[in-house]
A and B are shown apart, each in its own frame.
Chain A
Amino acid sequence: MSAVIETQGLGKRYQRKWALSDCTLSIPAGHVVGLVGPNGAGKSTLMNLAVGLLAPTAGTIEVLGRPPAAGAALARVGYLAQDAPVYRALSVADHLKLGARLNPDWDAGLARSRVERLGLDPHQKAGTLSGGQRAQLALTLAAAKRPQLLILDEPVASLDPLARREFLQDLMESTAEHELSVVLSSHLIGDLERVCDYLIVLVGSKVRVTGTVEELLATHHLLTGQRRDPDSLPAGLAVVSASHTDKQTTLLVRTGGQVFDPTWIVSEVTLEDLVLAYMSQAVGQAGRRNHHLEVHQ
């Protein structure tokens, strides 16, 4: 399985502040990859580095097997920036013409049929489109380049729930049709749950967990039982998060196999639980120590 994006100790600093530091990850091809993390995790910075809008301060990044040089041609990567920027004064038709003029491999048929299907008026100025329509127009531009990799930065963040569903539905159809690799970021797992088959949780520039959705759901379990110290668990179980009430302890654990301990009620985790558990690890050591204190009280 080849990687569409591979980074090694990647870092980007703005003046004094590191927006991304020591990030090492590998995003496999042939998936719809959800890049999830809280605001400020470095998702946008990573994507900007991947399309050459930023140059790394440290480390390396390779996209489709080569480093994205700042200002170099971007033929095989389609990019939808955060908030889907479009030219307000240009019409929908103008945008398609722009795409055709700036991209030699432009698929005019694809662009036209997408715009028709979405019910966009070709003569309407992009500035008067709704947020959802604007995102759809920007996605059309990115997709009609016929890229191998589509990078979408928070594509649905500014959309209402209905527009979100339509956008993601449409994205899924395009992906299936054109055998694209897709990387899309969000700080809300709910957005990505339906479309992603691969997940990367990025917190504070670090990859917390990565894998196909199927594999993640199979290897994580929710354990509920009498209140106790998570340290007393059998080997082979890694506690991702723990929460306690007066009488009960709930653990989210990762394990290679099944959990056969009868003192626990084992249930399946939702993707959202799983991601939230990993994201809350961002609190780090301090947070984990608190769990122990609670338990020993």
Chain B
Amino acid sequence: MTWLTWRQFRAQAITAVVALAAFAILLGVTGPHLASMYASSGVPGCRATCTDRATSFLGVVTGVYTLVYTLGIAAVVLAPALIGIFWGAPLITREIETGTFRLAWTQTITRGRWLASKLALPGLAAMVVTEGFSLMYSWWAAPITEAARLAPGANFPVGMGPFSLLAFDAHGIVPLGYAAFAFTLGVTTGTFVRRPLPTMAITLAVFAVVQVAMPLGIRPHLFSPVHSTVSVAQRFSGQESVSGDTFTLTPDYIFGQPGAWVLASHAVNAAGQPATVMPAACVGPDSGNSLACLASHGIEVAVTYQPVSRYWAFQWTETAIFLALALALAGLCFWRLSRRLS
């Protein structure tokens, strides 16, 4: 059975290998220069003015490097979706469409063994390919990731910190979980929808919804966040906006917690109550530095965040969730096929 699975999967496998090779060439051509720029930037092993050096390094990473950085994230994030659509969705629906399931399922081996082989080989390939994209990309982007950790306020096109929306999805081990989930989602949806095109469309829609719901609705709550307050007197990096006599303070990062994921923040007064109204002394032309003035009135910023030390706990937990979903979908698929399809 493995032979048949491989024979039918061969063309898709070749496409994936070609895509991986093209990606490797793109990264291999641009990577060494990026690494040498980083090596001479003074950031590696820096003891002082690290943030400034990192910021200036990120300042010279422009043009083709910004493009490759963005393309790379897109490739790693889109790979599972493409696998779900082009490997998962047609797996059973193509057999139904062409009637070949009547040939495949009336041989001596059981339908269960047929499905096991069909899920195992392309499923593992999906995980390997996606993780391959992710590993190559992480290697290439390591200088940018490291600099971004040191200079969180620096301006860079997409996803900077380890927890930022796209960067979290593209690094570590989560791509593996996404790939397994997207693939089984495509296969199992096919056993209900039965036609290839609608199956592909539904697979993409469901996967997109999950990929948006996860970072926005579920990921922040996987571990209960840390609550803390940060001073606005010194080393405050963020946006201060004043309109009339009300103000808001939004920190970019938390000093001493580089890479932390800030979930929520608001200004509080000395009593710990939410503060939005400017103290009278801080309004007017003579008030000077308003941040210093706010600080002198006991204003601080209350932050709710996930420290970067939890990064791998988040990665493992989210990967486990997606692998569990993939297993549940595979189980559903076996159940569907053990009954009947037509």
Contacts and interface: CB of A to CB of B under 8 A. Distances in A.
Interface of A: 48, 51-55, 70-75, 77, 79, 81-83, 85-90, 94, 97-99, 101-105, 138, 141, 145
Contact of A145 (B4, B108, B337): B108
Contacts of B337: 71
Task: Determine the interface band of chain B, counting residues with CB < 8 A from chain A.
Answer: 20 to 34
B47 interface: no
Nearest to B110: A73
Contacts, number: 83
A38 B45 CA distance: 85
Of the candidates A85, A94, A103, the one having the most CB atoms from chain B within 10 angstroms of its own CB is A85
In the complex, the 7 A-B pairs of residues with the closest C-beta atoms, listed nearest first: A85-B99, A81-B102, A71-B111, A102-B107, A79-B106, A103-B108, A75-B108
Interface string B104-131: 1111111110000000000000000000
A81 B107 contact: no
A105 B7 CA distance: 21
A52 B108 CA distance: 12
A101 B3 contact: yes
A55 B339 contact: yes
B235 interface: no
A71 B112 contact: yes
A86 B104 CA distance: 9
B102 A87 contact: no
B342 A86 contact: no
Contacts of A101: 1, 3-4
Contact of B106 (A55, A74, A94, A98): A74
A54 B106 CA distance: 12
B4 A71 contact: no
A53 B111 CA distance: 10
A53 B106 contact: yes
22 contacts: A52-B106, A53-B101, A53-B105, A53-B106, A53-B341, A70-B339, A71-B110, A75-B108, A81-B99, A81-B103, A81-B106, A83-B99, A85-B100, A86-B100, A87-B100, A87-B103, A90-B8, A94-B7, A99-B107, A102-B1, A103-B108, A145-B107
Of the candidates A89, A99, A102, the one having the most CB atoms from chain B within 10 angstroms of its own CB is A102
A98 B100 CA distance: 13
A48 B105 CA distance: 11
Given A53-B102, A98-B4, 14 more contacts: A52-B106, A53-B106, A53-B341, A73-B109, A73-B110, A79-B106, A85-B102, A94-B7, A97-B3, A98-B3, A99-B107, A101-B3, A102-B4, A145-B108
B273 interface: no
A51 B106 contact: yes
A244 to B, nearest CB: 45
Contacts of B155: none
B317 interface: no
A79 B8 contact: no
A102 B106 CA distance: 10
